Every structure is written in structure tokens, then in C-alpha cells.
Amino acid sequence: MIFLILSVLSSTAIFVLFKLFNKYNINTLQAIVFNYITAFTCGILLYDKPINVDSFISEPWFFAALGLGFLFISIFNVMALTAQKNGLSVASVASKMSVIIPIVFGIIVYNESIGFQKVIGIILALLAVYLTSIKPKSNVVLTKAIYLPIILFLGSGVIDTSVNHFAPDGNMPLFLAIIFGSAFLIGLVLITLKTKQTKQKFNPKSIPFGIALGLVNYSSMYFLLKALRVDGFESSTIFTINNVAIVAVSCLTGLLLFKEVISSKNWIGVGLALISIILVTL
């Protein structure tokens, strides 16, 4: 359970850093690129075996890791577009509700348990995610660019499912390093093209914020995978607890650190989150 707690805290730290981006006028794309190279470096440093390029290229998970790197940065851009065109709440709900994809995958493919109490817990978790993600006076536009939240929902679910499915137990740090390294190369190309088009200057403050983001980003993925590998816990249970806990803790963190307004719906969502965690865990 300690791995799950560390994953939730790391993911909440990502939320805090993104809030600080706005406060200190950090260029998000530039920070994202430094985030990926930092996360890549973490994976390389944590890999305690000799790196033999020929051997891991032949591994069945190698090309899956490359594809996930492309998905990582693509879905990030889709999330930004969804927030701009449909509203931040729609983007938040679409990305968080996607947890249903790895849950269903675990039940069908891994033949995991599906009792009445667990079903109720999962339903309450999804309801908690929705209620907690809806912010007061949020601009929600479902009729405009409806395809964006759909892509975000599917893409986020595929990422979570694929990372868990393809991650090798013995080469987990290297697997994550390749994902983040692939995302870094794609991001580097994007930022180069955007800089040429917009004549946008490099912001030196992007470096420390990007490094901090990379550390917690890698930690969130690494600890989640470690939690998923603990005997006695099913992936559908871990994904449910992890997702709903991140939403609830992020909501409370927004209240405590940034004085965000929390509506009665948000409080109900936090309460349901706690109930769903208890039901699914037990």
C-alpha cells in the first residue's frame, strides 16, 4: 500500500506544479520537454543492469514503449485542446473517468474478481471523480468539438492499460525510460517547430520547473507500477483506488494551498471517494 500512497502523492505534486506554472508564467511546452528528459534520466539511473541496446530492442515491449511515448505527448496536447475548447472540467472528467478502461480490461483479460461490493465501489468511484472534477462556474461546452473529450477519454485509458500490460517486471525502469525518452524526442521536434513559427523565446525558468515535474512524473508512474505488481491486489482495485484518491487529494490540496473554491458537489465527491476506497479495498 505504501507504493500506492507514494503514487498518489506524486500525482498530486504534478497538479501543484501545473498550478505554479500559471503563477510564475512558465512556458508549459518547454517545461514538459525538460520533464520528459528528466524522467528518462531517472529511468536510466535506476536501471541497475548493463544497458545492452541490441538486447532490449529485441524485447517485445520495446516498440510498445516507443508507441506509448508518442501517446503520452499526443494525449497531453489533446488535453490542452479539450480544456481550451470544451472547458477545464470536461478535460478533467474525460481524463479521470478513463480509469474504467483499465478496470474493465483487468476484469476481462486478467479474469479478476467482480463481486457486488466491488461493483458498487467502482460506481461510487466514478461518481466521485465526476463530482470532484466539476468546479463552480466552470465553462462546460459539450456540443463544441465533442470529439476531443472522446479522444482524451480513450487515449488516457489506453495509456494506463498499456503501461500496466506491457511493463516488464525485471526491466521496469528501462521500460519507463524508453517511454519518456521517446516522448522527449517528439516534444523536442514540436518545440523546435513552434519556436520557429512563433519566434517564441526560451524561458530559463522552464528548466527547474521541468526537472521538478519530471521527478514527480516518473515517481507517479514507477510507484503505480510497483503497486500493480504487489501480490494480493488486482489491477482493477489498484486503478480504482489510485485514480479516485488522486482526485480527492488534489481537490483538498487546491483548497489548502491555492484557496480554491470547493462546492457542495465537490465535498460530496470527496466523501464518495473515501467510501469507494473502503469498499474496493475490503
| Cα separations in angstroms, 273 against 37, 167, 203, 270 | 34, 28, 39, 5
pLDDT per residue over 87-143, tens digit each?
767 777 888 889 999 999 999 999 998 889 999 999 999 999 888 877 766 555 555
| Averaged pLDDT score across all residues of the chain | 87
Note the pLDDT of residue 266: 87
Closest by CA to 249, choosing from 150, 128, 166, is 128
Q: How many CB atoms lie within 10 A of CB 207?
A: 15
Position 140 scores a pLDDT of: 53
Burial class (CB in 10 A: 0-12, 13-18, 19+), 262: middle
The answer to whether 168 touches 59, Cβ cutoff 8 Å, is yes
The separation between CA 183 and the C-alpha centre of its own chain, rounded to angstroms, equals: 14
Q: Does the structure show a pLDDT above 70 at 71?
A: yes
CA atoms within 13 A on the CB side of 98: 22
Q: How far apart are CA 78 and CA 9, in angstroms?
A: 25
Strand positions, DSSP E, 163-255: none
Mean pLDDT of 247-259: 87
CA atoms of 123 and 212, how far apart (whole Å): 34
The reported pLDDT for the residue numbered 122 is 93
Average pLDDT over residues 33-39: 93
Distance CA 160, CA 220 (A): 12
Neighbours of 196 (CB within 10 A): 9
| Per-residue pLDDT at 142 | 54
Q: Are 156 and 92 in contact (CB under 8 A)?
A: no
Position 70 pLDDT exceeds 70: yes
More confident residue, 89 or 264: 264
pTM of the model: 0.88
pLDDT tens-digit map of 145-190: 678 889 999 999 999 999 999 998 878 999 999 999 999 999 888 8
What average pLDDT does range 11-18 have in this prediction? 88
At which residue does the C-alpha cell 491555492 appear? 258
pLDDT at 38: 96
pLDDT of residue 144: 59
